[in-house]
């Protein structure tokens, strides 16, 4: 009885304080212009396509039973993503599963709208669930800007190494926290009729705070999470890789507009391991301070 009353009071408090849904989205401005610019969509390898903006990666995985979209860019990326999917000859409404690599506004700004428009199910790393519901307000760093994207509820919470299957494609989610509590990468096999490629969609663990890890009260395990993520990311085996930002995997150097299908352009493993090492060095320097 008491708990029921408490519950009602809590619900009422949420409604009348206007705490989440009543507040307006304050997406940070002054972002790099490349985040909002168009770029040519293209086939990366097998059933994996690039449909994002010039720098904010969005990936479409086309299966024989609907499609998967990973990351949505900013709120203003939506028309670009839709146009890119159309240009490739696919149906925006065929998106059945939505995924993200991290709960920051530059990767899920359009998520609530895409989810509503397509009716697709959103699967997320369980540790980013709170950030999604709060519109980013609960994030240890970006929370200082308030609500930075439209709050969105997930349909399924994923744990490390959990599988996501749609039609003939199965992805594995790799829990790689630090950048956000539920940052993650995805790995899967794709075949283009000639060859099978193991593709890594990597979320690189960059550090976004100036203060010490010990001062991050909203994320007490942050330093340990980064340390574990670096170890895990150094051990991943794959053939091709891409990332949450085009600039992180040098997309526009690897592929010029109008270029023919060439999966091997993304086989550059040396850059992946160098990027991880460089980021780890920044991390090691930071914890010594
Ligand atoms: Zn981020």
153 SS3 class: coil
Distances (CA, A) of 245 to 17, 29, 65, 100, 250: 36, 18, 28, 12, 9
Q: What is the pTM of this model?
A: 0.92
Q: How far is the CA of 106 from the centre of ligand 1 (A)?
A: 7
Q: How far is the CA of 13 from the centre of ligand 1 (A)?
A: 31
- Evaluate if residue 95 carries a pLDDT over 70: yes
Q: How far is the CA of 9 from the centre of ligand 1 (A)?
A: 35
- Token pair listed for 99: 């995924």
Q: How far is the CA of 104 from the centre of ligand 1 (A)?
A: 5
Q: Tell me if 96 sits within 8 A of 121, measured CB to CB.
A: yes
Q: Tell me if 54 sits within 8 A of 245, measured CB to CB.
A: no
- Residue 173 has a pLDDT of 98
Element (H, E) at 158: strand 156-158
Q: How far is the CA of 249 from the centre of ligand 1 (A)?
A: 15
Q: How far is the CA of 102 from the centre of ligand 1 (A)?
A: 6
Q: How far is the CA of 83 from the centre of ligand 1 (A)?
A: 24
- Residue 289 has a pLDDT of 80
**CATH numbers and ranges of domains, the chain:** 32-288 (3.60.15.10)
Q: Tell me if 197 sits within 8 A of 190, measured CB to CB.
A: yes
Q: How far is the CA of 74 from the centre of ligand 1 (A)?
A: 12
Q: Using one digit for the tens of pLDDT, what is the confidence trace for 184-243?
A: 999 999 999 999 999 999 999 999 999 999 999 999 999 999 999 999 999 999 999 999
Q: How far is the CA of 149 from the centre of ligand 1 (A)?
A: 13
Q: How far is the CA of 276 from the centre of ligand 1 (A)?
A: 16
Mean pLDDT of the chain: 94
Question: Looking at the DSSP assignment, which residues form a beta bridge with residue 280?
Answer: none
For residues 42-48, average pLDDT = 98
Q: How far is the CA of 145 from the centre of ligand 1 (A)?
A: 14
Contacts for 122 with CB less than 8 Å, ≥ 6 apart: 97, 98, 99, 111, 115, 152, 153, 154, 155, 156
């Amino acid at each position: 009885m008491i708990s029921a009353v408490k519950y009602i009071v809590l619900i009422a408090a949420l409604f009348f304080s206007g705490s989440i849904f009543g507040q307006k989205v304050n997406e940070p401005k002054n972002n790099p212009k490349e985040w909002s610019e168009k770029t040519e969509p293209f086939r990366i390898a097998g059933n994996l396509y690039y449909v994002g903006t010039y720098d904010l990666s969005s990936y479409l995985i086309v299966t024989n039973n609907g499609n998967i979209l990973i990351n949505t860019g900013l709120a203003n990326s939506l028309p670009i993503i839709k146009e890119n999917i159309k240009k490739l000859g696919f149906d925006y409404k065929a998106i059945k599963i939505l995924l993200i690599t991290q709960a920051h506004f530059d990767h899920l700004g359009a998520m609530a709208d895409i989810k509503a428009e397509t009716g697709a199910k959103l699967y997320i790393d369980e540790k980013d669930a709170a950030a999604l519901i709060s519109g980013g307000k609960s994030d240890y760093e970006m929370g200082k800007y308030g609500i930075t994207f439209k709050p969105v509820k997930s349909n399924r919470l994923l744990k490390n190494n959990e599988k996501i299957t749609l039609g003939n494609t199965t992805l594995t989610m790799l829990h790689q926290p630090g950048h956000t509590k539920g940052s993650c990468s995805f790995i899967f096999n794709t075949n283009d009729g000639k060859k099978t490629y193991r593709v890594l969609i990597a979320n690189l663990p960059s550090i976004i705070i100036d203060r010490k890890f010990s001062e991050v009260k909203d994320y007490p395990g942050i330093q340990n999470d980064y340390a574990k993520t670096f170890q895990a990311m150094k051990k991943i085996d794959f053939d091709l890789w891409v990332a949450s930002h085009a600039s992180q995997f040098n997309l526009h150097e690897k592929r010029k507009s109008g270029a023919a299908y060439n999966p091997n352009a993304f086989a550059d493993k040396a850059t992946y391991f160098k990027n991880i090492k460089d980021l780890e060095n920044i991390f090691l320097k930071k914890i010594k301070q």
